[in-house]
Amino acid sequence: MKSHLLSLLLLAGSQFVFAQVDERKSFVYLYSDSVVYGNVVELKKPMFGASHLRVDSLKIPADQVKFFQAERGFFANTKEFSFTGTSQFSERISAGKLNLYEKETRSVSYSARMYGGMGTSTVTIKNYYNMGYGPLKKATYANLSADLQSNAESMLHLDKYKSTTRTQTVLYGVGGGALLGGIIALVSNMQSESPSPSGTPQGDVRKNSKAIAPAVAMLGVGAGCFWASYFVSLSKPKRLKRAVDAYNY
């Protein structure tokens, strides 16, 4: 009933077409492959209630929107890649024979803020691509190498992307092993210490400090590897964009 009512409102209040999309205008492209044009298109995320698109005076549920173009850019719905199926929109950063989309999420370490610090900010970038108004794919090496194999320059950038991914995986593995080893060494050292009723003599303090030093070093190596892996990963979206741009132009 609600879907039928929405269709009637769209037909009555906007230009509702199935023809070629005019990207010179603001519009909403529905999963039904129909297009609604409007003067103003805005994505609304209310504190209470579901996200929706405003096309002038019309309200369209975000789950029905496949793409939309507004004053600030062109966006695609990535809900099929969400664990919860929630509609989220990724911005198109390259357009042509193949379109590339990017979703950037910033987060701040909560533990750092608890102690009055500035917090540690990290950026997570997810990329997707498609052709025309077709379904999105994850921008992985396997997917892109199959679709861009006819372009030698694109494949060169993708090979560098793959090499970066391998380096990132190695750093994660080394970092994880170092952290685990450091934790095990710390726990083992704590268990081997015997409490003294009269306190710990200074000589024992030096002994304990030397005993835990390797564990602390391993924890430092592990943390360093994780941070190195994070910074290495920041170059990967640039490689993808260069690969797509080479294919398009």
Domain total of the chain: 2
pLDDT averages per 10-residue partition of the chain, 249 residues: 47 49 94 95 91 95 96 96 92 95 78 52 88 95 94 95 87 84 80 57 57 80 83 85 94
Residue 147 lies in a domain: no
Q: Is the domain of 13 the same as that of 126? A: yes
Q: Is the domain of 134 the same as that of 201? A: no
Q: Is the domain of 101 the same as that of 135? A: yes
What's the predicted TM-score (pTM) here? 0.73
> CA triplet 181, 182, 187: central angle to 5 degrees?
100
CA–CA separation, 75 vs 92, rounded Å?
A: 6
Q: Is the domain of 94 the same as that of 205? A: no
Residue 244 lies in a domain: no
Q: Which segments of the chain are extended strands (E)?
A: 15-17, 26-30, 35-38, 41-44, 52-55, 58-61, 65-70, 73-77, 89-94, 99-108, 121-130, 137-138
Helix, coil or strand: residue 209 = helix
Q: Is the domain of 95 the same as that of 192? A: no
pLDDT at 179: 82
Q: Is the domain of 102 the same as that of 211? A: no
Residue 116 lies in a domain: yes
Q: Is the domain of 69 the same as that of 6? A: yes
* b/e map 24-55, b = 16+ CB within 10 Å: eebbbbbeeebbbbbeebebeeeeeeebbbbb
Residue 248 lies in a domain: no
Q: Of the candidates 90, 124, 139, which is a domain's last residue?
A: 139
Residue 208 lies in a domain: yes
Q: Is the domain of 6 the same as that of 117? A: yes
Q: Is the domain of 16 the same as that of 105? A: yes
Q: Among candidates 139, 126, 148, which has minimal Cα distance to 82?
A: 126
Helix, coil or strand: residue 128 = strand
Residue 203 lies in a domain: yes
State which residues form the domain around 31: 2-139
CA–CA separation, 239 vs 86, rounded Å?
A: 28
Residue 17 lies in a domain: yes
Q: Is the domain of 45 the same as that of 93? A: yes
Q: Is the domain of 115 the same as that of 170? A: no
Bridge partner list, 60: 53
Q: Is the domain of 175 the same as that of 100? A: no
